[in-house]
Structure 1
């Protein structure tokens, strides 16, 4: 923004300077001077050379005109030079201050995340961490990507993440997690090895493209390995096998968090269709919960008209054709089925085993 202001100032100054020169030439020509004499007079007058007048300036009108040309020409020249100096000074000051701010921010970071690679995955990861208010540092050897991260206000380090010096500048000694998300499996393996040598305590999450790479990353010291291709295939399979549940959990962020939370608690989400012969038609969700021995929670209801009701209230009435999305564990699912004589759920979303 500031550099654009300086450039605009220079353009305005140059335009005014050129207009002054043209006006001066026209003015002297009107006074009866030749074109060459007029140009020469303008040059020695505006640039302050002062060799002497080409022709006598003996009338008050010419004297005033010449004085105005001197003032306008010098002022516009100073304006242009000032804009140039401002542009150079501001750029240098911003660069120095930016480096100092970045260094100070990284030095003060503690328990932060180091993102190795600011490509497509790295940008999405950084955006997620920013939303979660997690401190992080982006590392990349590509100056253009680093510039993009810097414009977004992220802490950045320029250099190869496979070099010890680069990871040290990123504060690996104080970092909590290192995520290497480069599209190059060999680079991710090398970064994992380097990071593990520098820190035994840091948690390393690595991106991999194949199961063979996954084994190498684990042996190199990675705590977790993410295979984007496998995750994508699982998501597509879920959408094909159970479109209703997939639409319920269509938000990738909520879907991933929900899966992780449910799995850690031994839970899963099931889809129950309510047939016209079900004995719970006309009952409320509160009545349904009270008839079950174990814990359960109805997170959504898809009605027969395909409208979706999220977070239904306990007094919500169950109707024929409804599809209930219920979070429960295996033992409670058996209790729920027996108490309500529901059919076996059509889908078991990723969670506890069905056996």
Structure 2
């Protein structure tokens, strides 16, 4: 059975029913009845009201015609009703089969993630989980949201995630992690408490909006607490504070700030102006990077005309008046003056080809 079959039945039944009514009205009119009497006769005949004939039906041919109208009209009406009932039943059956199938799939999961909440954060979270190939189950009380998720093939459970039976339906005893990303901090605390009581060793990651809730979530059993607001602010600050390659080349303050971050890893970013008479003119990026111990990388090249080449190719040629931004270990570079930093002697070894 499918929905198209029931709709087809309804269409066929309605077509026959309408045709029967029209033919019956025409037949009674031809028998000398008025249009209103003919319509009334057809309605009470087909729908079995049985108020009696409007006019006497004494002609045997008219009686046979009326019998045909009753049989055809009632049969088509029952056919339409049957298609309608079938359509409703099919929907319920499909819904029950879908729920059963989903329940079986959830029972077969192991090491999956349980996502409590299918709001803005929850949708983004499961999108990333799907991209990473992580299996997951979504719990939410909003059936409309879950219906949209289910149409995309997502395993869903409708209910309150703070209830033990709902978490058990989601397979918390087999799950590896639970993420509660509900918009209300109190609900996230309740979900965390319930999940920790049901499973002591499951990893729980909770969302919080208020900084003071973080301690409560940790005490409730959360292994990690994430604040989308703080993450968003950090990302914005990162975009503001972290320069692009172009700004590194142009902005001395940005250049210094990047070097401060690189100090932690024992690295340093060096800026070199290539003069027209420099020994490096005519050499390639490959020649420059391999002239030392291989620990030097050219990050960017700014041409004399202002063009900035990010991640230059090994075959790119160094020209006079170029500005090179290079990354290397701090010990591979030595200061020559207060404002000039030159490569170590290893880096200045003769290269092939060289343009003096």
Rg comparison, structure with higher value:
2
8 Å CA contact 2:269–2:325 kept in 1: the answer is yes
In 2, the alpha carbon distance for the partners of 1:87 and 1:313 equals 65
8 Å CA contact 1:239–1:246 kept in 2: the answer is no
Deviations 1:107-137 (A, max 9, x none): 1000000000011111111122122221100
In 2, the alpha carbon distance for the partners of 1:64 and 1:19 equals 18
Aligned equivalent of 1:345: none
SS in 1 for 2:139: strand
TM-score by length of 2: 0.71
Shift, 1:299, TM fit: 7.8
TM-score by length of 1: 0.72
In 1, the alpha carbon distance for the partners of 2:284 and 2:268 equals 19
Corresponding position: 1:334 with 2:327: no
SS in 2 for 1:211: coil
Aligned equivalent of 2:171: 171
In 1, the alpha carbon distance for the partners of 2:196 and 2:326 equals 43
Aligned equivalent of 2:89: 89
Number of aligned positions between the proteins = 316
In 1, the alpha carbon distance for the partners of 2:155 and 2:31 equals 65
Distance 1:276 1:314, change over 3 A: closer
Aligned equivalent of 1:31: 31
Distance 1:17 1:215, change over 3 A: same
Moved more, 15-24 or 190-199: 15-24
Deviations 1:10-59 (A, max 9, x none): 36644652453244223321331134542354246535789788434455
Moved more, 315-324 or 230-239: 315-324
Aligned equivalent of 1:347: none
SS in 1 for 2:86: helix
8 Å CA contact 2:300–2:308 kept in 1: the answer is no
Deviations 1:304-337 (A, max 9, x none): 7667767x543344566678696xxxxx542565
> Alpha carbon RMSD of aligned pairs, Å?
4.0
Aligned equivalent of 2:197: 197
Distance 1:238 1:65, change over 3 A: same
Moved more, 181-190 or 278-287: 278-287
Shift, 1:289, TM fit: 3.6
Unaligned runs of 5+ in 2: 248-260, 336-340, 344-356
Shift, 1:100, TM fit: 0.9
In 2, the alpha carbon distance for the partners of 1:337 and 1:225 equals 42
SS in 1 for 2:244: helix
8 Å CA contact 1:292–1:335 kept in 2: the answer is no
